[in-house]
Amino acid sequence: MGAVLVNYLFGRANFGEKKKLLLAFAVCLDALMLIEFKLIGQFINNSFLPIGISFYTFKMISYQVDIYKGKIEKEPKFVDVAAYFTMFPQVTSGPIMRYSDFESLELKEKFGDILEQIEDGLKFFVLGLGFKVILADHFAMLWKDIGTIGYESISTPLAWIGAATYSLQLYYDFWGYSLMAAGIGVMLGFPFITNFDQPYSSGSISEFYRRWHATLGSWFKDYIYIPLGGSRKGTGRTFLNLLVVWLITGFWHGVTLNFILWGLILFAFIALEHFVIMPKLPKTLGKIIGKINVLVFIPLTWVIFAIAGPMQLLEYFKRLFPFFGEGISVNQNDFIKNLGIYGGFLAVGIILLLPGLYRFFVINRKHPVINVFLFILFWACVFSLSNAAGNPFMYFKF
């Protein structure tokens, strides 16, 4: 609430005035608040990280910049600013809504319109709930089982299955959350916010991250990459700007070594695509390499994202790539048992990566058959939750 009040007052002081020093001070204040809690959480035991601080801090920074740039035409009231910063469906894990989207809310006068909004929002909410409870939570069980076995004891096939499993877990966990948050927003009368746009159908890693957590990607582009000069100031400056963006992206997720390494590796891939693969190779070959990067290297980068300990990470990669006999497992058939238990969930998760299926749902979501499917899905989720110990959303930690 203190951050809400401070940002409202800074925004009010800067509205229509274009005071660059005031903007810089407000943005630095918000950024330092986030950095402080990130560092405290890393270096002081038993400390706490306020839930959602990464997300509402970014909303506050974008609010200050948009006011300075004149993108917010009408001076906001305190109640509107407070509601925007603390909007409960998004406050814990996004999506990162811009104030202009919040401002576009048109209150419905007819009761029938309100009921229609609630029904439409519920459909997205239930689909997201299914992604989280039926898919992501079962993928989490397999990933946990692999950790329990021990990375030094798993076979190479199981290591690759684990990489795919964690990738799918993270995808359906966060896409599920985003659909649930967007669905609640629709129920309240806000426009639907797309945070995932079929990223695994992308033709390059750059495109993947325009489609994955799209509101975060657009935030980094609009408030860091473009202000730094984007790609307008030559190759060297573009290279540096990409490096800064991906270092910040890694730090935003956490200050441990694996997150920084994850950001740097993604920077290397994107720079390679930007400067070598796309401009210098034949178009068809570039597309093939881009697809391989998405389907093979993205899951490998998620392994780095998932495993914090350097020695554990090294051990896992030895299992993935058992060169010269290094990393050969005693039990080479361990993957068969796990496929028997979780193979059905993995198959469904992979099939749902096809972009046409989600588009079919969106287009036909008012059809009675879809309503029956969602009704069954909802109660399947309730049943699953009633028998589960609880598995919070993965992005709550960020």
Report in angstroms the alpha-carbon separations of 372 from 351, 363, 376, 384.
Answer: 21, 16, 6, 18
The residues, ordered by sequence, that sit 6+ positions from 374 with a Cβ below 8 Å of its Cβ are: 122, 123, 126, 127
Work out the number of other CB atoms within 10 angstroms of the CB of residue 200: 21
Alpha-carbon gap, residue 307 to 386, rounded angstroms: 29
Q: Which of 138, 213, 253, 274 is catalytic?
A: 253
253 is catalytic: yes
Alpha-carbon gap, residue 141 to 344, rounded angstroms: 14
Nearest residue to 388 (alpha-carbon basis) of 79, 159, 113, 133: 133
Which residue in this structure is represented by tokens 């309730």?
382
3-state secondary structure (DSSP) of residue 49: coil
The residues, ordered by sequence, that sit 6+ positions from 317 with a Cβ below 8 Å of its Cβ are: 303
Angle at 394 between CA 161 and CA 370, to 5 degrees: 80
* 323 DSSP assignment: G
Q: Which amino acid is at 175?
A: W
Q: What are the φ/ψ torsions at residue 213 (nearest 5 degrees)?
A: 45, 55
Paired tokens of 153: 């004891």
Paired tokens of 386: 């009633």
Catalytic residues: 253
